[in-house]
Each structure stands twice: as structure tokens, then as C-alpha cells.
Amino acid sequence: MPQFPGRIVSKLPKVGTTIFTVMSGLAAEHNAINLSQGFPDFDCAKPLRDLLVKYVNSGLNQYAPMAGVMRLRERIAEKVAALYGASYDPGHEVTVVPGATYGIFTAVATLIRPGDEVMLFEPAYDSYAPAVEAAGGVPVYVQLRYPDYSIDWREAQQAITPKTRMLIINTPNNPTASVWSGEDMRMLEGMLRGTDIVVVSDEVYEHIVFDGHRHQSAARFPGLAERTYIVSSFGKTYHVTGWKTGYVLAPRELMAEFRKVHQFNAFVTNSPVQHALAEYMENRDAYLALAAFYQKKRDFFLEGIRASRFKPLPSRGTFFQNLCYDAVSEERDTDLAVRLTKERGVASIPISVFYREPPPHRVLRFCFAKSDDTLAKGAEILSKI
Ligand code: PMP
Ligand code: GLN
């Protein structure tokens, strides 16, 4: 193909290929234990697979309704009411989308105009800033404080300007594995009272909170729910990241604007997948048991690396365990992650990629959504380093 003859002015000049694609590719190339990208290496439940086959075979293979299959929206609204005490109307306030990334990107595209400021907390999941920049917005960063990744709410307050249109929050948090408390959510609620600022709350790990703590959904806080797009994903909850299906909750007026953009973007989400998920959601145990399932995996991995020179940071939620490598190496995390993959056969994610500038602390992120066999092999390698 000949080259494009004109000049391309990139909207995302600093963006390369995502670290997840890079590290999973490197892990495959070097046949390494892949604890980098966040996805299970075990299969989803057979009844869920059977349901998908059932709905494909029953002819539900054409476009779903624009906002999503109604029975799935009803199950989602029921779940959110039961867990967080919030009432969302499945007709106007719940939309099924092709994954949480899409939900976040579309919410940003719906409201952000050139020059609008969007507050992000750093380290930030890697899709947020590009979504803001693609819309012409300006990310404004507030630092999470190492090593517990807590928030200085005074600093957040000071970062608000007349141009602030939106905040993107994420609890349980990727990549820090921290979890916001009810007090954090109340601080946020108080900070935004009386403003026009909208929140996008990325809650894809809502069912993966450890040690008896509760997920503090924005839905629990009326002063937040009234201004928030809550985004979640079935990928994490049912071990089906490849199905790329999630949902967005928002008050009616916000959702009406969201759907205006959604209908000309993806328009709809995969139809048989939605029917399968709707039926599967009738069994509440599948998501209620998830936290215990992953807590066991976290603890199994931690036990495996107990004698190693890597020092665990708290993992309070998500399926990630961060390890500080101060005692192992002085290398940059990006260099170490590559070297461990190539030379030792274990892949991780360097935390610095979630910052604009590399932070002074040395941390790698390991995903424990893996079979016990994979985790044992990974831990064994780490213990010898
Ligand atoms: N937000 C966060 C914090 C995530 O970790 C992920 C996925 N790993 C997503 C969004 C994207 O979810 P989905 O695959 O449904 O787009
Ligand atoms: N969110 C997942 C992670 O943090 C990966 C998803 C992706 O590859 N985009 O590892």
C-alpha cells in the first residue's frame, strides 16, 4: 500500500500500543508464565457457555435493542437495588454496552468538549487519558499517595477549576488494588455538591473486594448517583473478558445524552451474549462468591512468594497483587518487567506506565486471576530471584 500522501496530525501523539498487548505478546513469545494482563487463564462456568450456545441456536442472532436486551437490563437493575440500595429504571437508566472501556470512552465523548478539564487520579488506568484527549479534553491529575494509594482530598479540591467538567474514579482500583472507603465517597460527594461536574465511576471490580470490606459503589451515595455514569463489566465478574460486554447506569437525563452517542458508535451490543448473561444473572451466587474465590487466589500467591525478596503491597480488591522490588533490583520497572519475562519466564506489568512520569518507587503488578498451577509456577520463579 502506498503511504498516505497528506499530513496526519495525531490526536494521540504520545500513545503507543497498550502495555497489556505488549507484555502478553512478550510472554507468549518467550513462553513465560503470564501474570501481566488481567484475564483469567481458566474457563468460565459451563452453564454460562451452554446458555450462550442455547441462545445462538435459538435464532437470537440479529441486532439487540439499542439500549440492551430488556431482561438483562432488568436483572442489572435488580442487582444494583439489592446490593447498593439504588433504584435505576431499566427503561431509561441502564444501557448494555460492548465492554467497560467502551462505556467510559462513550461517556467522555458524550460530555467533554475541547478545553474541558477531566480530573484523573494517578496512577490511572491506561484508557482514561486517551479517551479524554481524543475528545479534546485536558486530563488534570491528582496523585494517589504511595504506598497505600490514599487520596489527599484537599489536593483534589484545589485541582477543581471553572473548566472542570468531569472526574473519572475507579474503585476497586487498577493498578493499585486499593479500595475507596465510604469516607472517601462522602468526601467526593461533598466536594462536588452544588457543581455541574459529572463523575464516571469505573466499578468493573465491584464484586472483588477482600477481607470483609464492602464495595462503595457511587450508587450508594445519592449526591454521587445523581451525577454519575457507573460503568461495570461482565468480563471480570463471570470470567468472560473475551465477551466484551458491560453496562452503564446513570440518571435519565445523563443517560439520554449517552445513548445519543452510543447509537452512532456501536449502536448495540452482542445479542445472544446478552440473553445468556440475563439468564445466568438469576443465580446470584456466581457474583456473590467471587470475592472469596479471588481472596483465596491472592492468599495462595502471597504464600507462594512469602520467602521471596519481593515485598507485597496491600491488595484490598481487584485481581492484582503489587510487589515492591526494592530488595531485588535498581532497574526501572519497565526494564525489569521485560527482563523477568525473557530471562526468568514470568511476565508482569510495570506500574510506571500508569503515570505520566515514572514514580520513584519500584513496583510491578501481578495478576492472580490464574489457575493455582500457574500461580504456583509464577511464585516459584519469583522466589528464586
Ligand atoms: N476498567 C478497568 C479498571 C479495567 O481493569 C478494565 C479491564 N481490564 C476495564 C475497565 C475494561 O473492561 P472491558 O474489558 O469490559 O472493556
Ligand atoms: N484491564 C486489564 C488489565 O489491567 C487488561 C485489559 C486490556 O488488555 N485492555 O490488565
For the beta sheet containing 246-249, the strands, ordered from the edge strand earlier in sequence to the opposite edge, are 94-97, 246-249, 228-233, 198-202, 164-170, 117-122, 138-145, 150-151
- How far is residue 331's CA from residue 348's CA, in Å, rounded to a whole number? 14
Annotation: CATH topology of 19-44+288-383? Aspartate Aminotransferase, domain 1 (3.90.1150)
How remote is the C-alpha of 189 from its chain's centroid? Answer: 21
Nearest residue CA, atom 4 of ligand 2? 38
pLDDT digits (tens, 9 = 90+) for 204-254: 999 999 999 999 999 999 999 999 999 999 999 999 999 999 999 999 999
Rounded to 5 degrees, φ, ψ at 24 are -65, -35
Q: Ligand 1 within 6 A of 100 CB?
A: yes
Which ligand 1 atom sits closest to the C-alpha of 245?
15
What is the predicted pLDDT for the residue at 127? 97
Contacts of 347 (CB under 8 A, 6+ apart): 23, 24, 26, 27, 32, 33, 34, 35, 36, 337, 340, 341
Ligand 1 lined by 99 (C-beta under 6 Å): yes
The predicted-structure confidence for 29-49, as pLDDT tens digits, reads as follows 999 999 999 999 999 999 999
Which ligand 2 atom is the nearest neighbour of the CA of 349?
10
Q: Is residue 33 helix, strand or coil?
A: strand
If you measure from the C-alpha of residue 20 to the centroid of ligand 2, how many angstroms do you get, rounded to a whole number? 6
Nearest alpha-carbon partner for 235 in 23, 65, 40: 40
| 8 Å CB contact between 115 and 138 | yes
C-alpha dihedral (331, 332, 333, 337), degrees to nearest 10: -60
Distance 208 CA to ligand 1 centre (A): 13
- Give the pLDDT band of residue 316 (cuts 50, 70, 90): very high
Total residue count of the chain as it appears in this document:
385
Cβ 177 under 6 angstroms from ligand 1: no
CA distance 218 to 359: 29
Query: How far, in Å, is the centroid of ligand 1 from the Cα of 330?
Result: 31
pLDDT digits (tens, 9 = 90+) for 290-304: 999 999 999 999 999
Cβ-based neighbour number of residue 117 at 10 Å: 20
Domain ranges of the chain: 19-44+288-383, 62-284
Ligand 1 mutation pick, 18, 19, 101, max ligand atoms within 8 A of CB: 101
Whose atoms come closest to the Cα of 351: which ligand?
2
pLDDT confidence of residue 368: 98
What CATH number labels 62-284?
3.40.640.10
Strand partners, 365: 322, 349
- Ligand 2 pocket: which of 20, 170, 244, 367 to mutate (most atoms within 8 A of CB): 20
Q: How confident is the model at residue 367 (pLDDT cuts 50, 70, 90)?
A: very high
Whose alpha carbon is nearest atom 1 of ligand 2?
A: 38
Q: Measuring from atom 8 of ligand 2, which residue has the nearest CA?
A: 20
Alpha helices, DSSP H only, in the chain? Answer: 19-29, 46-57, 70-84, 100-111, 128-134, 153-159, 182-192, 222-225, 234-237, 252-262, 271-280, 285-288, 290-304, 333-339, 372-383
The reported pLDDT for the residue numbered 274 is: 98
Task: Tell me the mean pLDDT in the region 77-89.
Answer: 98
Average pLDDT over every residue of 342-361: 96
pLDDT at 364: 98
Give the residues surrounding ligand 2 with Cβ less than 6 Å away. 18, 20, 37-38, 174
